[in-house]
Amino acid sequence: MLAYILRRLLLLVPTLFGIVTLNFFIIQVAPGGPVEQFISTMRGAGAGAMERVAGSQTGDIQGARPSSLGGGDVKYRGAQGLDPAVIKDIEKLYGFDKPLHVRYLKLLGDFLRFDLGRSFFRDKTVLELIAEKLPVSISLGLWATLIIYMVSIPLGVAKAVRHGSRFDIWTSAAVILGNAIPAFLFAILLVVLFAGGSYFKWFPLRGLTSPNFDELSLGARILDYFWHLALPVTSLVIGSFAALTLLTKNSFLEEIGKQYVVTARAKGLTERSVLYGHVFRNAMLIVVAGFPAAFIGMFFTGSLLIEVIFSLNGLGLMGYEALLQRDYPVIFGTLYIFTLLGMLTKLVTDLTYTLVDPRIDFEGRG
């Protein structure tokens, strides 16, 4: 097993940098880069304020002004009429004065040192921004995933045992209905009903904690934390537990029909011993296999609209804003972290296979 783990860790490096490389060159050809963003800011500030905008944003670009000759560098949209020297200074500010291959090699070298750079539009490093937003995303992703698994697995087992009964029929209807409602739409409904929208004001609508959080006792802090999480986590859970419930049910039904289950029952084992001593271990393999995708999807992408609706400033919202602003260090840095965590989670899943079923030997597959 140790050799298998080492092989997987060694494979992380080429895979990780292959993904970063692909996205680097795709992003480079996308229109509306940071230079265009800065030029747009200068244009929006007006000709009279252009020098102040450049000075406050860079500290290096002095005398930024429209060229009286109306020429300028037309390589960027909106650059017509600007002094070419100003355009070159803006390119130097964002590192675009260097050739593409030089920027790429610098990116790889920085990532090898785990230096993710500094945001173009926020006065913080990428690591500082990730550390600042991480508690929100961890809170949403972790609790939502745990609740989904705690509800879906027992429910799926119960549906498999009672297949075709009234319980199976009405729970299937509830599961399908919950799956049909988008998480953001259910979030809006919860806001209207319980967060002061039109009826009750039982839950807060903004932030992860109350303004006086630091003044509260330990027990009050825990209650305040879960009070703020109640609605956003519920929104994520409602639309996400259907697939896992049906997967668990179908997996159990498939295993229950196999010969070893018939043999176990013929030996006089109780139904509980058959289900949880024999069937559960085999049926859970496919459920365990889906955990990385469920967790990573919930952790990074599934909560974007939820973060917006409940004013939770997490990684999903930060990544979306960075993409709109073409904040390349934040885009590449978060992609690097997300990919690394996703691949490590997949490795943990493989190791979990051996805990669920010791008969699995990854060493033998090598």
Written as tens digits, the pLDDT of the chain (366 aa) is: 677 778 878 888 888 888 888 888 877 766 666 667 666 666 665 544 444 444 444 444 444 444 433 444 456 665 565 667 767 776 776 677 778 888 888 888 888 888 888 888 788 888 899 888 888 888 888 888 888 888 888 898 889 888 889 998 999 888 888 888 888 888 888 888 888 767 788 888 877 888 888 888 888 899 988 998 888 888 888 877 887 888 888 888 888 878 888 888 888 888 788 887 778 777 777 777 666 667 666 666 556 778 888 878 888 788 788 887 778 888 888 888 878 877 887 777 777 777 666 666 666 554
Amino acid letter, residue 60: D
pLDDT of residue 45: 52
Partnered with residue 344 across adjacent β-strands are none
Neighbouring residues of 329: CB distance < 8 A, sequence distance ≥ 6: 116, 117, 118, 119, 120, 126
CATH 1.10.3720.10 domain span(s) along the chain: 127-365
Q: Which CATH class is domain 127-365?
A: mainly alpha
- Closest C-alpha among 233, 238, 241 to residue 203: 233
Question: What pLDDT does 223 receive?
Answer: 92
d(CA 151, CA 240): 11
Residue 85's Cα: distance from chain center in Å?
40
Cβ–Cβ under 8 Å, residues 253 and 157: no
Distance between CA atoms of residues 340 and 363, nearest Å? 23
